[in-house]
Structure 1
Amino acid sequence: MTVGGSNKYDAVIVGARVAGTPAATRLAQAGWKVLLVDREPPPGDTLSTHALFPNTLARLAELGALERIESRHRVNYVEYAIRTLGYEATGSFTPVGGFDRMAVITRPVLDPALLKVAAAAGAETRFGEKVTGLLGAGTDADPVRGVVLGSGEEIEARWVLGADGRVSTVARLLGLEKERQLAGEMAFMFGYWRGLPPTDQFKIDVIEEGSLVWSPAEDDLSILILGVDPLATRGGPAEKQRTFVGLLDQYSDWFDPAWLQRGEQVGGIRVAPETMLRGFFRQGTGPGWALIGDAGHFKNPSTAQGISDAIEQSLHVAAELTGQEESLAGFEAYRDERAREHYEWSFDFARFANPDTAAPIFRGLVADPEAGQNLRDALSRQLRPKEDVFTKERLNRWFSAVPSAR
């Protein structure tokens, strides 16, 4: 049942990006009065891998966002290729919703498409507004019942959903601590170019010193991401540019650094320090509130699961709230079960490759086509990395084939 009054809502969603807009769409479609609040007007860029696996492409199609994107941009659907210490596994995915390839769609394209879908469903928006307080403490005795904006304006709501990212204002105002924290070893540097050679693959090359991701994004745009020693991200713009270009020489048999000179760089080199990439869980829900996406749980971006997590959690919250009981009692258990194994795996991916362990594993993976397919399907969340890909039986078999491991 929808509340009345111009300043009263069924739900206020703090954050109008991938974690907030799917819930706004579904709630508005169910007749809820919904307000999306974001301090930055769209379209805006944000640190992201931008990678979308078939499960997420299917969700975007279901929401109507993919159709909006394809009406204005060329989406480049690609296979997944990973080469670790010289052992390469390449292929497509088991289809999900008709998609057997992945795509990279940058956030200045993806986020506005999802926002337009939410607005078309009836969600209202307020941009350039900061949430500085909550109405209510979020406890049984004092549930959250709205937000306070920087102007002092109070907006009442039956539910406040924090979809405002890793450094969540809603989480801070609730006093929520990070739990089950993990860290990787790598930092990341990335940049965008137009006019690079075409490729039909999302390529990852892993060497002992780091990793390279090279993939087309939408239209003629490409993204390059380097996994590096955290010290490499230091310095000013010119130094970061020199470091980035210099490190590309290590991957020259997959990516020729001379190609950069023939293309057009779009913006400068950006960095994600290792300290920014440390994982956590926070309490997911309480009386009158919930945290969605990176606000409540953050994986390392090395396995590119953040957008998928955000969209799936957002849709799950909307489904629970529009159910018979209008309760989020099951949300945190759902979130944690979906993250099982994938959370730890993301940080395994973010460590430097040790030849003693990585080489036998990926040699075995390449020799076992079913395992290679399972790896790709774990990325599209059809399987789990430990239960279904890197099983005890496979690891024993792969390591027993290496004389030095006996």
Structure 2
Amino acid sequence: MYDAIVVGARCAGSPVGMLLARQGHRVLVVDRATFPSDTISTHYIQQRGLARLRDWGLLDQVIATGVPPIGHMTVSYHDIVISGFAEPINGIDVTYAPRRTELDTILVEGARAAGAEVRENYTVRELIIEDGVVVGIRGAVAGGEVTEERARIVIGADGTNSFVADAVGAETYTKVGAECFVYYTYYSGLSHTEFHSRIGAGQQIGIWPTNDDRTLVAVMRKLDAYPDFRGDVENNFLSIARDIVPEFAEELVSKGKREDRFYPMRYPDNYRRQSFGEGWALVGDAAYHKDPLTGLGISDAFDYAALLAERVHEGLTGERPMTEALADYQRERDEKSQSGFEFTCSISTLELTPQLLAVFRALGSNEEYAKDFFAMIGGGMTGEEFFAPERIAKLLGATASA
């Protein structure tokens, strides 16, 4: 009998399993993958996410993989360019974008080191539900015999197509339609060591360094262009680079060497699902998902895995009723993620509202306020704080009088 079973061992599952195990709970973490294992991802971890890794004792391992630090960011919208970086956030003055083969393995091993039992190459076939309460799982390691494992709570950390969410009938209560699709790949031979997110007319390109002297290059277009785009991915990919950052496109062609295939991301709608019930909870993309344009997914997974672990601990120890603790988890997650969710849904249309356009224009000519913008992106300031009416009024007024 386990205290908790966690289904899914990546950016949300391994941390919640690790944190519960560190608090003395008996934890089983299962995943269909065998690690190291890759997965579709933006790779990017903001300062707040790195602070989590540091506090968990895992950041040095990530840095040791050789992933280069990022200390400067450029965000643009047509002719508006916002350039700079946030002041240190929780003592973190750079960001990183590690390959998931590296990051997820470190997280899995962190869960193991904490005392959690981790079963890789394991598929959950069924949730055990008795009198409306989830009490365990049935599943097997590939080629092995199906076994039954029971726990006081089963946590689904198994992504957007969550088996656990489907099995319990978790309802979606917030949904904003997806606007775009992404293709990305990796190049060697490029000089870019900074973070770029550049938006043009109905399209975007992202550029940032990752492990093994590779640069991740991603392009985004509106969904209606998907059928034509996939008919000639490479030329369409380069066309977006030429349209938005022609100097980079030239380097891509003359010096770059593509080292991998093109990875498509035709992701689901932005949503929030009911994330708890009798004997179960959801975390990570299983619970809450948004467009990858702002790259908040990994850091959010860390933050809300930590929050869920705190609330589950309260329920397991009898400090408060489990259902009450889990309801607080969902409420607090929704409150803390609201500004990031709204900003992501707005900017991922690749068309700024008049108000946001005015803000971007002002930021492009105001270095100090640009630092605040990057602080919001990095997690040192909430969206509510950054977009507070008095702050925006000062920004727009300072720009008008300059």
Flag the 1:231–1:43 CA change in 2: closer, same or farther, 3 A.
Answer: farther
Residues in 1 aligned to 2:82 and 2:108: alpha-carbon distance in whole angstroms: 36
The question of whether the paired residues in 1 share the 8 Å contact of 2:111 and 2:118 is answered with no
Deviating runs (4+, > 4 A) in structure 1?
Answer: 235-238, 354-359, 393-403
Deviation at 1:226, TM superposition (A): 1.0
Matched, 1:295 2:274: no
Shift of the alpha carbon at 1:161?
A: 0.6
Among 336, 339, 345, the alignment partner of 1:347 is: 345
Correspondence for 2:301 among 305, 310, 335: 310
1:199-258 CA distance string (max 9 Å, x none): 3x2111112231111111134111111121224433697721222122221123451344
TM-score, normalising length: structure 2:
0.89
Asked if 1 retains the 8 angstrom alpha-carbon contact of 2:44 and 2:295, the reply is: yes
- Note the aligned Cα RMSD (angstroms): 2.4
Q: Structure 1 208/390 Cα, relative in aligned 2: closer, same or farther at 3 Å?
A: farther
* Cα 1:72–1:315 shift into 2, 3 Å: same
Letter in 2 for 1:310: A
Superposition pairs of residues 47-62 of structure 1, within 5 angstroms: 47-62=40-55
| 1:12–1:157 Cα contact (<8 Å) kept | yes
List per-residue Cα deviations over 1:18-43 (Å, max 9, x = no partner). Answer: 11111111111122221111111112
In structure 2, stretches of 5+ residues that fail to align are none
Q: Using the alignment, how far apart are the partners of 1:12 and 1:266 within structure 2?
A: 38
The equivalent of 2:386 in structure 1 is 389
**Residue 119 of structure 1: which of 96, 99, 112 is its match?**
112
Task: State how far apart, in whole Å, the 2-side matches of 1:374 and 1:12 are.
Answer: 40
Please give the TM-score of this superposition, normalised by the length of structure 1: 0.88
Q: Deviations over 1:70-118 (max 9, x none)?
A: 2332432332211222222222213123212222112111100111111
Instruction: Select the residue among 151, 156, 168 that pairs with 1:157.
Output: 151
- SS of residue paired to 2:261: strand
2:190 to 196, 215, 235: 196
d(CA) in 2 for partners of 1:373 and 1:236?
36
| Matches of 1:251 and 1:75, distance apart in 2 | 25
Partner AA of 1:351 in structure 2: T
> Which residue of structure 1 lines up, in the alignment, with residue 275 of structure 2?
284
Q: Is the 8 A contact 1:193 1:260 kept in 2?
A: no
**Distance change >3 Å, CA 397–CA 133, structure 1 → 2:** same
- Aligned pair in 2 of structure 1 residues 402, 382: CA closer, same or farther (>3 Å)? closer
Shift of residue 147, structure 1, vs aligned partner? 0.6
Residue pair 1:84, 1:358 contacting (<8 A) in 2 also: no
**What is the match of residue 135 of structure 2?**
145
Change (3 A) 1:145 1:186: same
Q: Secondary structure at the match of 1:340?
A: helix
1:206 aligns with 2:199: yes
Q: Give yes or no for contact 1:207–1:353 (8 Å, CA) kept in 2.
A: no
- Partner of 1:81: helix, strand, or coil? strand
- Paired amino acid for 1:190: Y
In structure 1, what is the Cα distance between the partners aligned to 2:65 and 2:242? 35
Which structure dedicates a bigger proportion of its chain to helix? 2
Alpha-carbon distance change, 299 to 236 in structure 1, aligned in 2, over 3 angstroms: closer
User: 1:54: how far off?
Assistant: 0.7
Q: C-alpha distance in 2, partners of 1:227/1:259? A: 17
Structure 1 278/237 Cα, relative in aligned 2: closer, same or farther at 3 Å?
A: closer
- State the shift of 1:391 in Å: 3.8
* Contact kept? 2:67, 2:98, Cα under 8 Å: no
Q: Which AA in structure 2 matches 1:142?
A: G
Task: State the shift of 1:286 in Å.
Answer: 1.5
Residue pair 2:165, 2:282 contacting (<8 A) in 1 also:
yes
SS in 1 for 2:138: strand
Shift of 1:384: 2.6
Distance 1:358 1:286, change over 3 A: closer
For structure 1, the residue ranges without an aligned partner over 5 or more in a row are 1-7
How do residues 210-359 of structure 1 correspond to structure 2 at under 5 angstroms? 210-234=203-227, 239-273=232-266, 276-323=267-314, 324=317, 325=319, 327=322, 328-329=325-326, 330-353=328-351, 359=357
CA contact (8 A) 2:186 2:215 kept: yes
Q: Secondary structure at the match of 1:64?
A: coil
Q: Is the Cα contact below 8 Å between 2:21 and 2:116 reproduced in 1?
A: yes
SS of the aligned residue for 1:310 comes to helix
Matched to 2:335, the amino acid is E
Partner Cα distance (1:169, 1:356) in 2: 41
Q: 2:366 touches 2:399 (CA, 8 Å); kept in 1?
A: no
Distance (whole Å) between structure 1 residues aligned to residue 313 and residue 93 of structure 2: 32
Residue number in structure 2 paired with 1:134: 127
